[in-house]
Structure 1
Amino acid sequence: MNVQVVKTLLLATSVTIVALAVILFPEHTLEASKSGLSMWWNIVFPSLLPFFIISELLIGIGVVRFIGILLEPLMRPLFRVPGSGAFVFAMGVASGFPAGAKYTAHLRQNNDITAIEGERLVSFTNCSNPLFIFAAVGVGFFHNPALGVILAAAHYGGNIMVGLVMRFHHPEDHHPTVTIRSHQSRLSLAFSALHDTRMNDKRPFGKMMGDAVHSSIKTLLMVGGFIILFSVLNELLSVIGLAPLLAGALRSILILLQLPPELDVPLLSGMFEITLGSQLASESSATLVAQAMITSFILAFNGLSVQAQVASILADTDIRFKPFFFARLLHGFFAAFLTLVIWKPLYLNYLSPGNGSLPVLNREDTPSIIESVYSFLEQTGPWITLFFLLTFIVLFTQQFNQTKRKGFK
């Protein structure tokens, strides 16, 4: 039988089963949808939107080209990507997924990188942000801010390791470092590129900002849809009885790796949606180091929810999704391994509550900056989301009316 025919049958069968499950279990579907919507409405949207808008402006003004030329000698030898990849990595770390994929796709659409360079770049720039690792996971789930240091070190260290490995992806695709004339410094060349980019973009700054808001909100609406969808899928797997079967297969793998088998359900849930998986891992009866290793794997794998977001973003380019999926598995194993390696020297010997060497962020009387930001988002996040959704409606209406008037002309 033709492979495409089999694929069609599998897709049709899977979607039909999900549709029937939604109809048969409406209460579970509603609760899972509300849970996913709450996380997007309160935390995800207001925390990511400022980074997305500012990044769109930096790209439009030409700052990314400026950074790219300056950091070309660093990024090209290490990761075999242009210097602008440093901007993508920095924004990916600061704002979290799917920022790395969004800006990689943006660079590809502007022909600033090749498809192969895009595959290398997206593999190590799509990461979890510090706010989620420290506040949501470390403080919210584990009630242990010091654990956030371990998870963050393993997560971002694993990302760099993935980038170093992915530099060997398609070794025949070789692009030399940008050379400069003898009489021209790299700084002056970078500034010239910044100025040329700004002059070539004929949009006034107000129009540029409006487009940045419009584009950012569209991306975040897509992100919200995927979060809600995979929250529902995760719940339905448990309701229809497939979760225990899949968890049984993961249990065998955990036993083979000498990890506690009771982490099978958290791992399965985390492979769909990282928030629920991390929460279940923190509530399990396994040892703390085992919980940390599984949580590191979940954060690095990103969950199928985030991977679906990335696939949707990359679909507008010729960047393939398969290398990204391979990189997520690689990152998961790297992050779990790094957690085990640094556990004793960093956590037990320095950060553990029992040795009296806790960092400042663990003092109960003075919450950390990240905890304060997380608390602020929980209180004001819905209002921020509502304001910008209304802004999006106004911008979309104006754009629609302008297009309609041009059509009549």
Structure 2
Amino acid sequence: MLWFETLLPSLLPFMIISNLLIKTDLLKNWIRIPAGLWHRFFALSCDGAYALILGLVCGYPMGAKVTADLYLEKRISKKEAEYLLTFANHPGPSFLSSYVCLQALGQKTLILPTYGIIYLANYLCCLLFRRRADRQAIAADSDDHAENKRNEKEISIQSPVGEILDTSIMNGFESITKLGGYIILFSVFQGVIKKVFAPLGPVMYLMCGITEMTTGITALAGTGWNLTILYPMLLGITAFGGICIAAQTKSMLAGTDLSFGPYIWAKLVNFLLTGLLAFLFIEIV
């Protein structure tokens, strides 16, 4: 029901439209103007910035999916794609406000601080991994792909609109079906954890959160723990996404040769940064 009532209507249209924009090269017209901003603050090309924007607006796992699609269409280099995976795939604002702050914590006043903590930690993670990404190498790789981009644009324009639409719809349905399968699988797995590890109390709740984010957050919120412990824990798990989100992200990279390692390392770093910032906020503010 989570997949049918929430993910299907909210993510599928974005997946289809995103494919259409990438295959017709229309996305560049939307994000070409602030090109200097993407280079200065994120060391990204205009195409790479599109993955960042979709990841920010739509949440998991759209950032990873768009990154993979752009790489397969030769819009971005492999180096830029793996760099994007370290910070472009994160929870969306609607999930943070409605599910984490209102439903789980029942704290409307925490909505804006939660936005600030999650996205600040994500940007700090971006800065940490940007040192390894080598900004000039990304720009050079983008130049090397300039001719490929022009060729892809010509091919896209020459392709029948109906064919592009059919391909985009099928790609969207394949991706959203994969997400449903992973949610069902990990929900069952989480049910086993609750049965087996119930006597361990706090350990069981933590394992639920690490396994599947949404139901894990609900389980942790029901423990009655002090906000000093609960808030950093919930935000850390939200930033990490859980094993289920990691598996979904990996499935979005199918058909590419992109390394999954940078994503995992970045999420572990993000978990620690987010938890620390959330703890400092509760203690100081």
**TM class by smaller structure:** 0.7 to 0.9
Q: CA shift at 1:194, angstroms? A: 9.1
Q: Tell me, in whole angstroms, the C-alpha distance in 1 between the residues paired with 2:50 and 2:90.
A: 14
Of 271, 296, 316, 2:235 maps to 296
CA deviations over 1:116-160 (Å, ceiling 9, x no partner): 211110111111112211112222222222223222221122111
Report the counterpart of residue 250 of structure 1 in structure 2: none
CA deviations over 1:19-53 (Å, ceiling 9, x no partner): xxxxxxxxxxxxxxxxxxx2111111111112212
Q: Tell me, in whole angstroms, the C-alpha distance in 2 between the residues paired with 1:167 and 1:43.
A: 34
Q: Tell me, in whole angstroms, the C-alpha distance in 2 between the residues paired with 1:125 and 1:271.
A: 20
Equivalent positions of 1:87-236 (< 5 A) are 87-171=50-134, 174-176=137-139, 197=153, 200-236=156-192
Closer/same/farther in 2, CA of residues 244 and 314 from structure 1, 3 Å limit: farther
Code of the residue aligned with 2:190 in structure 1: it is N
Closer/same/farther in 2, CA of residues 236 and 62 from structure 1, 3 Å limit: same
Number of equivalenced pairs: 280
CA deviations over 1:300-347 (Å, ceiling 9, x no partner): 1111001001112223211111110000011111112222333467xx
Report the counterpart of residue 65 of structure 1 in structure 2: 28
Code of the residue aligned with 2:70 in structure 1: it is L
Indicate conservation of the 8 Å contact 2:48/2:80, yes or no: no
1:265 has 2:196 as partner: no
CA deviations over 1:166-185 (Å, ceiling 9, x no partner): 11225497133778xxxxxx
Moved more, 267-276 or 334-343: 334-343
Closer/same/farther in 2, CA of residues 283 and 163 from structure 1, 3 Å limit: same
Moved more, 275-284 or 293-302: 275-284
Of 259, 263, 266, 1:324 maps to 263
Q: Tell me, in whole angstroms, the C-alpha distance in 2 between the residues paired with 1:134 and 1:327.
A: 23
Equivalent positions of 1:9-28 (< 5 A) are none
Indicate conservation of the 8 Å contact 2:70/2:76, yes or no: yes
Closer/same/farther in 2, CA of residues 67 and 165 from structure 1, 3 Å limit: farther
Q: Secondary structure at the match of 1:125?
A: coil
Of 263, 285, 289, 2:224 maps to 285
Code of the residue aligned with 2:166 in structure 1: it is G
Q: CA shift at 1:55, angstroms? A: 1.3
Q: Tell me, in whole angstroms, the C-alpha distance in 1 between the residues paired with 2:177 and 2:53.
A: 23
Q: Secondary structure at the match of 2:256?
A: coil
Indicate conservation of the 8 Å contact 1:96/1:126, yes or no: yes
Indicate conservation of the 8 Å contact 2:194/2:204, yes or no: no
Indicate conservation of the 8 Å contact 2:11/2:58, yes or no: yes
1:237 has 2:193 as partner: yes
Closer/same/farther in 2, CA of residues 199 and 318 from structure 1, 3 Å limit: closer
Equivalent positions of 1:305-320 (< 5 A) are 305-320=244-259
Q: Tell me, in whole angstroms, the C-alpha distance in 2 between the residues paired with 1:72 and 1:171.
A: 18
Q: CA shift at 1:195, angstroms? A: 11
Indicate conservation of the 8 Å contact 1:91/1:99, yes or no: yes
Structure 2: stretches of 5+ with no match in the other structure: none
Q: Secondary structure at the match of 2:139?
A: coil
Q: Tell me, in whole angstroms, the C-alpha distance in 2 between the residues paired with 1:288 and 1:172.
A: 40
Q: Tell me, in whole angstroms, the C-alpha distance in 2 between the residues paired with 1:119 and 1:84.
A: 14
Q: Tell me, in whole angstroms, the C-alpha distance in 2 between the residues paired with 1:143 and 1:200.
A: 48
Closer/same/farther in 2, CA of residues 320 and 195 from structure 1, 3 Å limit: closer
Percent identity of the aligned residues?
27
Aligned CA RMSD, in angstroms, stands at 2.7
* Rg larger for: 1
Q: Tell me, in whole angstroms, the C-alpha distance in 1 between the residues paired with 2:226 and 2:218.
A: 15
TM-score w.r.t. structure 1 length? 0.62
Q: Tell me, in whole angstroms, the C-alpha distance in 1 between the residues paired with 2:25 and 2:38.
A: 18
Code of the residue aligned with 1:273 in structure 2: it is E
TM-score w.r.t. structure 2 length? 0.87
1:54 has 2:10 as partner: no
Code of the residue aligned with 1:62 in structure 2: it is D
Closer/same/farther in 2, CA of residues 174 and 232 from structure 1, 3 Å limit: same
Q: Tell me, in whole angstroms, the C-alpha distance in 2 between the residues paired with 1:50 and 1:172.
A: 33
Closer/same/farther in 2, CA of residues 210 and 301 from structure 1, 3 Å limit: same
Indicate conservation of the 8 Å contact 1:92/1:100, yes or no: yes
Q: CA shift at 1:71, angstroms? A: 4.2
